[in-house]
Amino acid sequence: MKAESSIKVKGMHCNSCATIIKESLSKLKGVEKTEVSLEDDNVKIKFDSEKISKEKIEGELSALGYLPKAFPSSPKKTNSLKQGIIYGLVPHIGCMGFIVGSILGVTIAIEFFKPLLMNPWFFHILILLALVFASVSSMFYLRKNGLLSWKGVKKKKKYLTAMYGSTIGINLFLFFVIFPMTANFDTGSFANTTGNLALGAENINLPGDDSLLTLQVDIPCPGHAPLISGEIKTITGITGVRYRGPALFDVAFDSEKTSKDEILLLEVFEVYPATVTFESKEISLAEDKETKTTENTVKETTSLALENNNDNLTASCDGSCGGTGTCGKPLCGCSAG
- Contact status, residue 206 vs residue 252, Cβ threshold 8 Å: yes
pLDDT higher than 60, residue 299 = no
pLDDT band at 9 (very low <50, low <70, confident <90, very high): confident
pTM (2 d.p.)? 0.57
Residues 187-238 have pLDDT tens digits of: 888 877 766 655 566 666 676 778 899 999 999 989 899 899 989 999 999 9
Q: Which of 265, 284, 289, 290 is nearest to 211 (CA)?
A: 284
pLDDT higher than 90, residue 300 = no
- Which range is least confidently modeled, 6-15, 23-32, 103-112, 141-150? 103-112
Query: In three state form, how does the secondary structure of the chain look?
Result: CEEEEEEEECCCCCHHHHHHHHHHHHCCCCEEEEEEECCCCEEEEEEECCCCCHHHHHHHHHHHCCCECCCCCCCCHHHHHHHHHHHHHHHHHHHHHHHHHHHHHHHHHHHHCHHHHCCCCHHHHHHHHHHHHHHHHHHHHHHHCCCCCHHHHHHCHHHHHHHHHHHHHHHHHHHHHHHHHHCCCCCHHHHHCEECHHHCHHHEECCCCCEEEEEEECCCCHHHHHHHHHHHCCCCCEEEEEEECCCEEEEEECCCCCCHHHHHCCCHHHHCCEEEEEECHHHHHHHHHHHHHHHHHHHHHHHHHHHHHHHHHHHCCCCCCCCCCCCCCHHHCCCCC
Mean pLDDT computed over 112-123: 77
Backbone angles phi, psi at 252, to 5 degrees: -105, 135
Provide the pLDDT for residue 214: 92
Residues 247-270 have pLDDT tens digits of: 999 999 998 999 999 999 999 999
**What is the C-alpha to C-alpha distance for residues 270 and 266, in angstroms, rounded to an integer?**
7
Residues 6+ apart with CB under 8 A from 305: none
Mean pLDDT computed over 34-40: 85
